[in-house]
Amino acid sequence: MATRERPSNTCLRCAEIKQRCKGGVPCDRCSRLSLPCRPKGYSASLSGEFGLDGGDGISVGQPKAKIRRVQTGCLTCKRRKKKCDERKPSCGDCRRLCLDCSWPTERASRPRLNSWTNESWLSAEQVLDLSSETSPSPNPSPGSVQSNVDLSIADLLCQMSTAVPVDGADVDMTATLPELSWDLTTDPGWLDILPETPPIAEDSPDSLPNTTLTLYTPSLVPDMTSPHDKALLNHYSNIVASVLSRHPNTTSNPYLSYLVPMAVSNQLILHCVLALSATHWQKLQPDMRDRALYHKGQATQSLAGLLPHVDGGSVDVALVSCLLLCMSELFDGTSAGWKLHLQGAKRLLSTVKSQTGGNLTGHFKFFVKLARFLDSAATTSTCKPPLIDDKTVATTPEPTEDASNDDAAVYGIPKELFHMVDRVNNLASKRGTRVDEASEALFREEAERVQGRLDNWAYDYGGLAGAVASLSPTNDDVLHATTAYEWALRLRLHQITEGYSLTEKVFECVQHILDSAQKIRYGSPLESCLLFPLVMAGGACNCLEQRMVVQDRLMIMERTCGFGYVHQSRELVETVWKRRETESMVNWARIRYEEMGGLALY
């Protein structure tokens, strides 16, 4: 008896490999493998129509199944040569067989072509397209300012740790890096940090048809992945370092040449640098306040772990970290944490002196000057003698050119005049000793000695002109800033000895300060030297014209300098003006002490 063949809806391919098929065109299996799904009688129709042998259905021009090889499976399945379903944290096979499921390191996701964080190798055509897409247009849109941070040099140095080959036939082999069509808006100081590029061969590009020119950009901080931190590092290199340096000549900046290499090689100093950069930026970018707190916390925690084990190889790291954290607190204008950092810096300087015998060389001399500068700047807030003196650390004589460059970058004005504020504030700390006529006479005698030193501070230089010429003989801003600071010290000395009443001598000092300040251009490196003179003049001026000059200059400095202590200084001056409407004599120093304890004027 003949058996009747049951109807089947199995497709041709599933029937040939004897797999169960659910039917449908296409069936589930063919759809999953991206194969054309054909009915079971398809081979017979082909043999009848085209005279082909339909006995072997798969041989009739059918494409092979696509086999997707897993590249991201677990290491256990890869070792067993089994297909992994990539389920995490434990794949199906490892869970079923009770095996230890371990995974390889996550690969970075493939970025888009229009980003600077491309894959390791780009063809010459892609590089040219990339440069044309990212080149700035003549009329940039308002929203393009924010995106320029991504094209900064710090973003490139931190992300592009790969090589970019360029076809030698498309690029001039004798061209230098600045002549390429890449718009790297950066400060040339960054190029000094990078290793030297090997010299390019003189051969003609036509004679090297199969040779490619590889441009390698190393990553200075390969562990830095946060876009905020990369922006902060770029902000420090291009903006903050220039604000910190008071040298009229911007070609040599110790805040770049000393601090950036140390930050690149040490994570603790890197946190301190990023915290300082975020402190400068938080006024315009409030989101950076959280980054500043984060990096301060990380730096403080690391420094606390380092201090018990400080030795000759790590004392410089600890000292620089203390100074940078002190600067972050001082420049914020609202925190008094800089007092602890100054005390720590004094102890570290004593350690340096005991280890080196006082013979400091190299970058140690710059950091000693920076520490003494910050200590003297804080005396206007403490009204006490400085913590660091000549007995704490002594330096060996150094070449005049090196000394003048570092002095100009740190002080801006002659340091002999700047450190006169130590004597003035030391005198202020003795005001409480005037209890009778004898103590009053002793106080007046010391005030006269301070006045005599202030009158003759430039004697060793042959006068004011010689002292200014030792820093910058061709820049008049140094002269005007020095004059303004000298008159501010005279005014402060008068207030300490005679009180805060407005007299003719006070008005004379205020007028000299404002005349000198108005001769310094906006945005000058010496502009930050005007903060103490402007506050002294603002606290003593009484006419509207002088107040407008002080207020205008402080508001400009909030933009050019950027740190929060400038804004706090303007708030102090405006508070004095407001109270003078109802009070005959206003003590600006008491207001600063009682209401703005973290503000230091320098």
pLDDT means per 10 residues, the chain with 602 residues, are 60 82 80 78 51 44 57 86 86 88 71 40 39 42 40 42 38 38 40 42 45 53 83 93 88 90 93 96 89 94 92 89 95 89 90 73 84 90 82 58 79 92 92 90 94 92 87 87 96 94 93 96 93 95 93 95 93 94 89 88 84
Helix or strand holding residue 214 (H, E): strand 212-216
Q: Are 224 and 230 in contact (CB under 8 A)?
A: yes
> What is the DSSP code (8-state) at residue 179?
G
Q: How many CB atoms lie within 10 A of CB 70?
A: 13
3-state DSSP assignment of residue 363: helix
- CB within 8 Å of 349: residues ≥ 6 apart: 319, 368, 371, 388, 392, 393
* Separation of alpha carbons 186 and 191, rounded Å: 9
* Separation of alpha carbons 293 and 278, rounded Å: 9
The pLDDT assigned to 199 comes to 45
Residue in 336, 333, 325 with CA at minimum distance from that of residue 273: 325
The pLDDT assigned to 398 comes to 56
**Which token pair is 36?**
């054309």
Report the DSSP beta bridge partners of residue 212: 167
Q: What are phi and psi of 106, to 5 degrees?
A: -65, 135
3-state DSSP assignment of residue 322: helix
Report the DSSP beta bridge partners of residue 163: 216
The pLDDT assigned to 218 comes to 57
Domain-wise residue ranges, the chain: 12-59, 116-129+150-192+204-220, 226-411, 414-602
3-state DSSP assignment of residue 216: strand
Report the residue count for the chain.
602
463: region left, alpha or beta (phi > 0 left; psi from -120 to 50 alpha): left
Q: How many CB atoms lie within 10 A of CB 337?
A: 16
* Separation of alpha carbons 452 and 382, rounded Å: 24
203: region left, alpha or beta (phi > 0 left; psi from -120 to 50 alpha): beta
Helix or strand holding residue 213 (H, E): strand 212-216
The pLDDT assigned to 263 comes to 93
Q: Are 352 and 364 in contact (CB under 8 A)?
A: yes
The pLDDT assigned to 278 comes to 95
The pLDDT assigned to 313 comes to 81
* Separation of alpha carbons 338 and 287, rounded Å: 23
Helix or strand holding residue 163 (H, E): strand 163-167
**Which token pair is 535?**
């506050």
> What is the DSSP code (8-state) at residue 481?
H
The pLDDT assigned to 35 comes to 79
588: region left, alpha or beta (phi > 0 left; psi from -120 to 50 alpha): alpha
Report the DSSP beta bridge partners of residue 213: 166
3-state DSSP assignment of residue 159: helix
Q: Where are the alpha helices (DSSP H) in 168-236?
A: 189-193, 227-235
Report the DSSP beta bridge partners of residue 164: 215
Residue in 73, 88, 592 with CA at minimum distance from that of residue 333: 592
How far from chain centre, in Å, is Cα 251? 19
The residue type of 92 is: G
Instruction: Count Cα atoms within 13 angstroms, Cβ side, for 219.
Output: 15
24: region left, alpha or beta (phi > 0 left; psi from -120 to 50 alpha): left
